[in-house]
Structure 1
Amino acid sequence: MKTRLTLTAIFMASFALSGCTSTPGSTAQTETANPATATQDILDASACIGSTEPPAAWVSKLNLVDDPQLLASSLGQPTKGKLCQGKVYEVKEGESLTVFRAWNSTNPNSQFGAWWAANQPNGKVAQYREGYEICYQWSPLDKMTRCELKPGSKLVIGNGQSAQCSEWLTYPVSAEQQLYLEDTETLVSNCQTYDAVFGWE
């Protein structure tokens, strides 16, 4: 089922970031005469922040499990994106979780990628990119998919690692929770896809 949804945040990204001189949020972009120093400043403060505990509404629906391989796949080095820290959980039998993914319509394999969120994208795209460590060249974020995560599915809940998008743009570590899934298409059902439309404030 395909539904049009006004996601003011999503389409503003390609315009807000096209010049690469506007800052996504207050700390996302460090513009200086010395980009190497700017990146080092972020690395110096790259300790993980945020919580790896499930959202309150999910606590009763998940079990904490041990899966070192899945956790290792989700973690990234400073400035390389992925997660800074995380824990692995499994959806309990008889339960399901609603998850969201903003993605790139020009890449047909992007819809069921590894990175998801517990909440629907909203607000300004620049702030969303900063919170979820999504470089502008990785995705225009012009589609969104909402799915139900099936019982027995494993996921990593964690917080974003810093990501260097270009010489002038490095996102610091983030407290926003991200979800990491593998073989996502086999783990989800009842998916709905939405198109971004123009919206200006």
Structure 2
Amino acid sequence: MVSDKNSEYKFTGGNSLTGIHKLYHEVMMLNELWNGYGAYEVSYAAGKSGISFGGNQMDMHDNKKTAEKFTNILISATDNAGKHFFTQGEVKMIVGNEFVNLIQNGEVVLSMLGDNLASINAALSSVYGRARIDQLYVSEIKNGAEHIEKVIEKITNAAAKKFYDSDLGRVLLFDYHNQYDLKFDGRFLADYINGKGKENFSTKEMVVAPRDHSKYRAIC
């Protein structure tokens, strides 16, 4: 999540979204950006995360696909005079072979970026950078939405399925997926929701999702 507002540009990537996609967008604005600001610059949320960018804060830690999207913006973006912020050689030096410089822990990456950070943020917030980030965001929302529908199909806990097959349930799943990558065979779906059992981080007890739908109604 963006911890401060640095960019002068408010995010516009979700302006055309409607329906459940708009709800997903709204939760991203609440949980990932600073009152709608921070998409067009590099961010680091601390801890084990990497550097991120975009409306849903795409994290580059161990994520070559996101690093490639980021790199392509650095290569293509130009300033108002049409001059590229970086040569291809400079970009290669910044990102490293196979994006190795970008996919490490965010603190390490920020240290390596050093004096290039200002120009990188300028590229991300350029006309091209903003348009490309907006475009990527719409794809991220739509792809995430499709994944959530598949997740709901795989819920076997009837009470949980009834809850998550709602706008509120979908939004909660989408937000979780954006942060933690909700896998079909992962601990949240297979172990917690579908009843195999998941260890509580604090108490170390095995917990499962309620099988009484009234337990879900209580949080609505």
TM over 0.5: no
TM-score range, shorter chain: under 0.3
TM-score of the superposition, structure 2-length normalised? 0.26
Greater relative CO (CA pairs within 8 A, separation 6+): 1
Larger Rg: 2
Flag the structure with higher helix content.
2
TM-score of the superposition, structure 1-length normalised? 0.27
